[in-house]
Structure 1
Amino acid sequence: MKDLGQCVSEKNIRKKIYTVSVGVTGRCNCNCTYCHYFKSRSRQKFAYDISDSQFDIYMRFIKLCNEYVDGKLSYRFSGGEPMVLGERLFKLANKGFSITNVRPFILTAGKAMNKSWVLAAQNSAISHAFVSVENPIFPDSGAPNPKRIVHLIKEYNTDKFPIRAGVCVIPTKAFRNLYDICAWFLDELGYIPLICEINYDSYQRPTENEWMDLQKVLYDVVHDFGSVTPLNLFSSIIPEYAYGGDDPYLFELNLENSYNLSQDNLGNKIEEVIKGVHTVSYQPLTCPQTECPWQDVCSHTKWYWQCDRVLSREEKLKDYCRFKRISSDAYYKVFVDRDHVETECSI
């Protein structure tokens, strides 16, 4: 009999989903203490918006990707905070749609969301908005109040312009409160947004007690909510469950143009460029634990699990492995074998 890891790894049930995140501004109207974007950037130095020429290059890249990649592709505007662009955000959306024939969506903190903005967005090419919402138990002091943001989502969400809670980032101290956080969102909105750890340059290693908290609570979360609403938990660690068996990839195009995209290399070396972006974003993982039941869905990782400005690659991968085992064990116990014994092997 196949185990859960083998099932979700089969090619015929894992459709590839590509999302390109386009950084359209370095400005932001929030001051989240854990913000990874400004962890390694100066707010003053990066308080500028994307140029028209760079935007055109990024849109051409997306257009060509849509022709070459073997899966569904979408793209979003992020930052910084895309809402600070004002009317230019809608102009960029319309221009992007005219080039790519794909409507963008936005990832926003929602602080500036009001009726006039929503009406303008409805009349633009923006397809929908995903709003980052703080957890209600340990909200960050520099972020918008989660109760206010949830109120705005409920007030302005429509079929014509969907506005949904897109992501909730939780600190390690909130692992023990994960069930209550999920229950709050379900009660308020009827669904649970993507729940993820704080990562990139703001990552902090969980303590042993926090690891134990996560292990204890995850089973209850998956058991009680998994059959009620789609669960998207720790998607960079267990994308095979977070996206219902699909195979998601997120590529980030920043203001610095770190991939050195240009009209020239897009015109002459597009396949090489796409392959390079993919390789940098998702690095192969060679694990010595060949008997691990989750190995089939552990062949590559998002780049920040193998690269950290503070921790060593070995330390970061050990945490990735522990996250993977704890999360996979919870799903397996709920949906396959409730007597399953937790996995002990480690990278």
Structure 2
Amino acid sequence: MFVYKILTLNMTWLCPVKCPYCHVERKASLKDDHYLDKADLVRACKEALSLSFNEFRFSGGEPTSAGDKLFDYARTVFDITGVKPSILTSGVYINENWIRKSSGLFSSIYISVENPLHPFHEVVDVNLILKYIKEYSSEETPLRFGLTLVGPESYKNLFEIFESLYEGCGQKCWPQLTSPYLRSFVKPTKKELKALSVETQKIFRKYGAIPCYFLAFTGDKVFEKEHAYRQVANLNPDGSYEKFYSLKQLINHKKEKLNKSIKKRSTFCQNCDWKDCCSPFSEDLELNMCASYCDVRRALFDGMLDGLENAATAN
């Protein structure tokens, strides 16, 4: 099995945005202003390097709340691993000065952007983020869209949402639309699933194959390899690895958990026509939600296929 390993470096749990769908509040306070110690960062990077980790990314909480410390830590990651880290941010502290200081330090700067029609919060100005991406995104300052969460009630507006984001940033990068998933997943109605398929068809007919579209449901590029698995480990601000002392312990735990999950899912899904070609979801996905997840996947794949076929016929 090919395992693509990602180490998420949680700088802090502190975050002024407090998105209602945020998973952090299930394990920590978003008012906790403790920051990751540099010694813990160095230790984690060296251990991850020995375990052949592929990617390093800063997250939280809000990592940009660390100020210039974040830039120093980004240099440290590269010096130890030879890999430029990426960053996941709400964009709340991003401005022209921040963008200038970040030059050359990150492989990607992923900014989560709210659904412009029905935002979960209005702390961050969507139009300002679009402006920054349009004007400043470059090889040295690779500003990109992070996730834009769209609930089932907004499926009927997917084309409008996608187009407003993509055109709003001057087509600099693809929006990453998706729905809340795992414990935040909301089961769509049949009407909403139909809208999801129809709107997806319209998007794919106009723009072609979108590389980052509902990834939690359609699969990461990692899954283009046979028997592939994307494994994410978290280094928390206190220096721990999700209750484990070492990264190796956490990786072994996740491997055991994955194997158990695959075994259970193989039994649960044994009569499904997709069984032989379906990439596994996260090991955290409850089996009782599998059917609802697959309803979303079918709607998405039907829309993608119809859209691409219509585009090919039109050309």
Q: Is TM-score (shorter-chain normalized) higher than 0.5?
A: yes
> Are the counterparts in 2 of residues 195 and 233 from structure 1 also a CA contact under 8 Å?
yes
**TM superposition shift of 1:79:** 0.7
Is the deviation greater in 25-34 or in 242-251? 242-251
Superposed, 1:208-219 pairs within 5 Å as: 208-219=190-201
**TM superposition shift of 1:108:** 0.9
**TM superposition shift of 1:335:** 4.8
Which of 202, 206, 215 is 2:188 aligned to? 206
> Which amino acid counterpart does residue 296 of structure 2 have in structure 1?
F
Which of 308, 311, 331 is 2:304 aligned to? 331
**CA distance change for structure 1 residues 104 and 39 in 2, over 3 Å: closer, same or farther?**
same
Q: Partner of 1:184: helix, strand, or coil?
A: helix
- Relative to the length of structure 1, the TM-score reads 0.76
Which of 67, 81, 84 is 1:86 aligned to? 67
**CA distance change for structure 1 residues 248 and 142 in 2, over 3 Å: closer, same or farther?**
farther
Runs of at least 5 residues in structure 2 that lack an aligned partner in the other structure: none
> Which amino acid counterpart does residue 295 of structure 2 have in structure 1?
R
- Relative to the length of structure 2, the TM-score reads 0.83
Query: Within the alignment, does 1:20 sit opposite 2:20 as a pair?
Result: no
| Residues 256-307 of structure 1: per-residue CA shift (max 9 Å, x gap) | 5215143xxx6xxx4x75343345468423255446443233252113422x
> Are the counterparts in 1 of residues 244 and 250 from structure 2 also a CA contact under 8 Å?
no
Structure 2 counterpart of 1:147? 127
> Which amino acid counterpart does residue 56 of structure 2 have in structure 1?
Y
**CA distance change for structure 1 residues 288 and 114 in 2, over 3 Å: closer, same or farther?**
closer
CA distance in 1, matches of 2:51, 2:151: 35
RMSD of aligned C-alpha atoms?
2.9
- Count, aligned residues: 301
**CA distance change for structure 1 residues 142 and 136 in 2, over 3 Å: closer, same or farther?**
closer
Which of 53, 56, 65 is 2:42 aligned to? 56
CA distance in 1, matches of 2:271, 2:302: 15
> Which amino acid counterpart does residue 137 of structure 1 have in structure 2?
L
**CA distance change for structure 1 residues 299 and 114 in 2, over 3 Å: closer, same or farther?**
closer
Structure 1 counterpart of 2:224? 245
Runs of at least 5 residues in structure 1 that lack an aligned partner in the other structure: 1-10, 307-312, 339-347
Query: Within the alignment, does 1:65 sit opposite 2:44 as a pair?
Result: no
Query: Within the alignment, does 1:36 sit opposite 2:15 as a pair?
Result: no
Superposed, 1:52-201 pairs within 5 Å as: 52-66=38-52, 73-122=54-103, 125-189=105-169, 190=171, 191-201=173-183
> Which amino acid counterpart does residue 64 of structure 1 have in structure 2?
S
CA distance in 1, matches of 2:127, 2:258: 34
> Which amino acid counterpart does residue 205 of structure 2 have in structure 1?
H
**CA distance change for structure 1 residues 111 and 248 in 2, over 3 Å: closer, same or farther?**
farther
CA distance in 1, matches of 2:278, 2:252: 20
**CA distance change for structure 1 residues 254 and 144 in 2, over 3 Å: closer, same or farther?**
same
**TM superposition shift of 1:214:** 1.5
Q: Partner of 1:206: helix, strand, or coil?
A: coil
Structure 2 counterpart of 1:274? 251
> Which amino acid counterpart does residue 167 of structure 1 have in structure 2?
L
> Which amino acid counterpart does residue 244 of structure 2 have in structure 1?
N
